[in-house]
Amino acid sequence: MRTPINWLLSAALGATVMYYLDPARGRQRRALVRNQLVHASHKATHDARVAGRDTVNRLRGVAATVRAALDDEQPDDAVLTDRVRACLGRVVTHPSSIHVTSTDGVVTLSGPVLTEEVSGLVDTVLAVRGVKEVRNELEIHDEPGRVPGLQGTPEKRTGRRSAFRNSNWPPALRFLGSIGGTLATMYALKQRHPGGLLLGAGGMLLAARAASNQELGTLFGVGAPRGVVEVRKSIRINAPIESVFELWEDFESFPQFMTHVHRVRRIDTGGNHERWRWTVSGPAGTELDFDSVITAREENRMLAWRTEKGALVQHAGRVDFHENADGSTTVEVKLSYNPVVGAIGHTIARAFGTDPKRLMDDDLMRMKAFVETGRPPRDAARNGGSAAWQY
């Protein structure tokens, strides 16, 4: 008897086949997949070359460190000072306020520093190769107060940490993580015990983390901040800036020339911000509703918006309008959004051609054609809903 999981997998496979073999748009969808595979192949080749160079450079660094450890020669004062200064930024919040001098391996530290940072600073400097002694002449302060060298709110220092704990992994580590995660997953698939399942899950997570170079929370949309995925697009429209801006801020007219925007209506005009309710295309022919609010507006220059709380796909955007010398208008769109299941959801949406960048590219081209010709596209969501628009 087939299990529910087998039924779900069969249904998903059938839906995918129907999606890509659709008589009307199947050919375009298959071409999109081919293009994405070619792009992925080129990117993988480039990443492999970068990882190779990074690995070679790191091996050279390890070799240099080993040679230096075997060499008892004391570095000169200038070299030692540079070594100490290079490590200050990891342990103090105001490294530029620390003055470093070196004489025959004796390092003198002076300048203002916070009390909580003194111990870590001294220990870090003592660990620098070539340092024999540390003379503490620091000006210690419990609070920044009005001390000029301790003003500002720089990022919190985390000290020396493993590369695995950084949000941005180096190329060599990403390469090793991808290979290691893939091998662990392949090995786990041959196992029949719970330990194999755990190993496979860990391998897949490691490979996904290394390949995407994104933290797991961002990958799966767990506790991720606004703007997991950013999209930028620029397009030139042969029309005066006043006309383009007028059309863009008239959201209710979007279904006349956009395919993926079905309905837009104003729901609140009170207060300082206008609110609109949008109905747009969703996956597998569904429709999604969300409310947005205009957060900034400058006549013929800029529009900015964000979604209200509760929207399935949280996003924010900004459109800038630039007048060209020949009378045309350049429109720059910046969009940041949080996919339903993080970056993985964005990758899946890209495979089916329903990610925001793809949809935005399509609808911006329709807007350009609509403005320049005055005729609504045949595949607009509300074709024929009003008379042709002219500038």
Domain boundaries in the chain?
A: 4-70, 77-148, 163-213, 229-373
List beta partners, residue 139.
112
Taking the C-alpha atoms of residue 94 and residue 117, their distance in angstroms, rounded to an integer, is 10
Mean pLDDT computed over 361-389: 69
Predicted confidence band of residue 126 (pLDDT cuts 50, 70, 90): very high
How does residue 391 score in pLDDT terms, banded at 50, 70 and 90?
very low
Element at 41 (helix H, strand E): helix 26-70
pLDDT exceeds cutoff 60 at 351: no
What value does the mean pLDDT of the chain take? 78
Beta bridge partners of 3: none
Q: Determine the residue type at 151.
A: Q
Nearest partner of 362 among 339, 379, 337, judged by Cα: 379
Residue 218: pLDDT band with limits 50, 70, 90: low
Residue 252 reports pLDDT greater than 60: yes
Encode pLDDT of 65-123 as tens digits.
788 777 777 888 899 999 999 888 888 989 989 999 999 899 999 999 999 999 989 99
Strands 287-298, 302-307: pairing kind: antiparallel
Strands (E), the chain: 99-103, 106-114, 133-141, 229-237, 261-268, 275-281, 287-298, 302-307, 314-323, 329-338
| Residue 27 φ then ψ, to 5° | -65, -45
Rounded Cα–Cα distance for residues 213 and 200 (Å): 19
325 neighbors 305 (Cβ within 8 angstroms): no
Rounded Cα distance, 106 and 103, in Å = 5
Q: What is the predicted pLDDT for the residue at 385?
A: 39
Instruction: Select the more confidently predicted residue: 348 or 79.
Output: 79
Q: What is the CA radius of gyration of the chain?
A: 29
Degrees to nearest 5, angle at CA 265 with 259 and 270: 145
**What's the confidence (pLDDT) of residue 90?**
84
- Supply the pLDDT for residue 1: 43
Mean pLDDT of 203-213: 76
Does 317 score more than 70 pLDDT? Answer: yes
Check pLDDT > 50 for residue 390.
no
Considering only residues 325 and 283, tell me which one the structure prediction assigns the higher pLDDT. Answer: 325
The Cα–Cα gap between 330 and 236 comes to 4
CATH second-level architecture of 77-148?
A: 2-Layer Sandwich (3.30)
Higher-confidence residue: 85 or 227?
85
119 vs 247: CA distance, rounded Å: 62
CA–CA distance, 282 with 198 (Å, rounded to integer): 34
Of 1 and 87, the one with more pLDDT? 87
Residue 366: Cβ-neighbour burial (10 angstroms; 0-12, 13-18, 19+):
buried
pLDDT of 271 > 70? The answer is no
pLDDT score at 221: 55
Q: What is the mean pLDDT of residues 289-294?
A: 84
Lowest-confidence pick of 96-105, 226-235, 302-311, 364-373? 226-235
Query: Rounded distance, CA 257 to CA 264, Å?
Result: 13
| pLDDT over threshold 50, residue 384 | no
Q: What is the structure's pLDDT at 4?
A: 67
What are the φ and ψ backbone dihedral angles of 389, each rounded to 5 degrees?
A: -100, 135
Q: Which of 24, 13, 35 is nearest to 358 (CA)?
A: 35
pLDDT at 43: 81
On whether the CB atoms of residues 300 and 312 are closer than 8 A, the answer is no
For residue 381, name the pLDDT band (cuts at 50, 70, 90).
low
Predicted confidence at residue 382, as pLDDT, reads 61
* pLDDT tens sequence across 129-169: 889 999 999 999 998 888 888 887 766 565 566 666 677 77
* 42-51, 156-165, 335-344 — most confident range: 42-51
CB 247 within 8 A of CB 237: no
Contacts of 352 (CB under 8 A, 6+ apart): 19, 29, 283
- Say what the pTM is: 0.51
Q: Are 336 and 361 in contact (CB under 8 A)?
A: no
Residues 313 and 354: their CA atoms lie apart, in Å, by 13
- To the nearest 10 degrees (0 to 180), the angle between helices 4-20 and 26-70 is 110
133-141: strand order across its sheet: 99-103, 106-114, 133-141
Q: How many residues does the chain have?
A: 391
- Supply 198's token pair: 């755990």
CATH (residue range 229-373): 3.30.530.20
